[in-house]
Each structure stands twice: as C-alpha cells, then as structure tokens.
C-alpha cells in the first residue's frame, strides 16, 4: 500500500494500516525527538507518545496536508512541552557508549572513527542545546529533514516569514557557539545519527500502542 492508502485505511479504523505508518516514520520521529530532547530514553518515550497522539487524532487529520508534516508537528509540540515542564533546555549525553537504531547501523567502525563520530555527535548536540526549543525544532526540520519554510510553518503553527526569522536567529546562535569548536569535526547535518538507549526496535513487530490504550 502507498502512504496515502495507509493513511486512508488508518483513518477508517485499521490498526494494521497505522502500524505500517509507524514502521515508515518511527526512525525519523525518534531522531526528531532526540535532537529536541538530547536524551535517548526520553526521546523514545516522546516518539511513542507522538504516535499515540497521532492515532487518537487521526480523524482530525486533513488529507490535503502532508502526513509527515502533521506527524512532525505533533512530535515537535510534544517535545517543546516536555522541555518546558522540566524547565531546562538541555540534557547532556551520557558518557557511556550508545547504540544506534538497528535500521541505521553501518559496518562497525574502528576505534579512531568511533571517537571522531562521538566527538561530532557531542558537538552537534551541544550546539543544538544553545537554542530555544522552537528555534531548535525549526533547525532540525530544516537541516535534518530538508523541510521547506512552508512545511515548517505548518508544523510549528507560524508563518513562513517567522520560520525564516527563527532560522536566521538560530544560525547566528549556532555560529557563535561553533566558532569555539574544531570546524573539520563539527557538521550540523543529518549525517550524524541519533543514538538509542536500546538496540531493540522502537515498536518491534507489534507497536506499544493499541486502540484500547488511547
């Protein structure tokens, strides 16, 4: 089934179709949550909550709107709420090694490459941490998922011009922060994958949501 067919079936009540949508978007949604929250375990919880909220709100989804934009809006708003509740804008990354999502695994790198990747990941997350939550979400959607200004505006509930202003402000903040890092090892791009606190899939064969749990 195409994504559009899965969405239509899910809106008609098919949990199997929604499972298909979870399988398509579980990694992108988790990565978005991780970039927003900075903690693998919390990102996993937030991603699951985002899917639960999307499932419960499917009948309000406008099929004329891209499903990805709508889903990212739910995930982004939930992460912003979490950041506000804990009254901080950053959780540091653990010192212990973290595993990537199985779908993102590459051949095992050598010790030197691993050290470089960890340094890059730490620099990227530290850079994102200097941003306000809404600026951070705009940066992640723009540079990790290549979303247009209009798509980000729809996801964040603001205008395209406001998105441009947020991105301009965020880039200025990031530039000021990154001037103190080593340029050759700091790349603000989607090439640095978000770590996971577990090697297991987010939902496995059966997602951790059910129609009765909504």
Residue 46 CA, distance from chain mean position:
9
Q: Is residue 117 included in any domain, yes or no?
A: yes
Determine the pLDDT at residue 67: 95
Domain interval for residue 59: 3-92+113-213
Determine the pLDDT at residue 111: 72
Token readout for 50 is: 């985002």
Q: Is residue 105 included in any domain, yes or no?
A: no
Tell me the C-alpha distance between 112 and 66, whole Å. 41
Chain segment 23-50, per-residue pLDDT in tens: 999 999 999 999 999 889 999 999 999 9
Q: Is the dihedral of CA 194, 199, 204, 207 positive or negative?
A: negative
Section 204-211 average pLDDT: 40
pLDDT grade for 178, boundaries at 50, 70 and 90: confident
Q: Is residue 43 included in any domain, yes or no?
A: yes
Determine the pLDDT at residue 182: 46
Section 176-204 average pLDDT: 51
Pairwise pLDDT comparison (203 vs 7), residue with the higher score: 7
Q: Is residue 100 included in any domain, yes or no?
A: no
Determine the pLDDT at residue 206: 37
Q: Is residue 85 included in any domain, yes or no?
A: yes
- DSSP annotation of 101 reads P
Whether the predicted pLDDT of 184 surpasses 80? no
CATH at 146? 1.10.1740.10
Q: How many domains does the chain have?
A: 1
Chain segment 95-136, per-residue pLDDT in tens: 333 334 444 444 556 777 767 677 777 777 788 888 888 888
Q: Is residue 138 included in any domain, yes or no?
A: yes
pLDDT grade for 146, boundaries at 50, 70 and 90: confident
Determine the pLDDT at residue 196: 53
Tell me the C-alpha distance between 64 and 128, whole Å. 32
Q: Is residue 97 included in any domain, yes or no?
A: no
Q: Is residue 183 included in any domain, yes or no?
A: yes
Which residue from 71, 28, 77 is spatially nearest to 51, judged by alpha carbons? 71
- The SS3 call for residue 142 is helix
């Amino acid at each position: 089934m195409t994504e559009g067919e899965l969405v239509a079936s899910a809106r008609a009540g098919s949990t199997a179709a929604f499972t298909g949508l979870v399988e398509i978007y579980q990694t992108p949604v988790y990565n978005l949550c991780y970039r927003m929250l900075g903690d693998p375990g919390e990102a996993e919880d937030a991603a699951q909550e985002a899917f639960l909220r999307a499932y419960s709100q499917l009948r309000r989804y406008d099929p004329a709107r891209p499903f990805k934009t709508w889903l990212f809006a739910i995930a982004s708003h939930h992460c912003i709420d979490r950041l506000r509740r804990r009254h901080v804008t950053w959780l540091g990354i653990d010192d212990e090694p973290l595993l990537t999502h199985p779908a993102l695994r590459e051949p095992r790198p050598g010790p030197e490459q691993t050290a470089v990747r960890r340094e890059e990941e730490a620099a990227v997350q530290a850079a994102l941490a200097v941003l306000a939550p809404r600026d951070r979400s705009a940066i992640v959607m723009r540079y990790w998922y290549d979303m247009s200004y209009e798509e980000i505006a729809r996801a964040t509930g603001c205008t395209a011009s406001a998105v441009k202003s947020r991105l301009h402000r965020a880039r200025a903040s990031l530039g000021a922060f990154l001037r103190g890092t080593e340029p050759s090892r700091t790349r603000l791009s989607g090439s640095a994958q978000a770590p996971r606190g577990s090697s297991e899939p987010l939902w496995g064969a059966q997602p951790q949501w059910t129609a009765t749990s909504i």
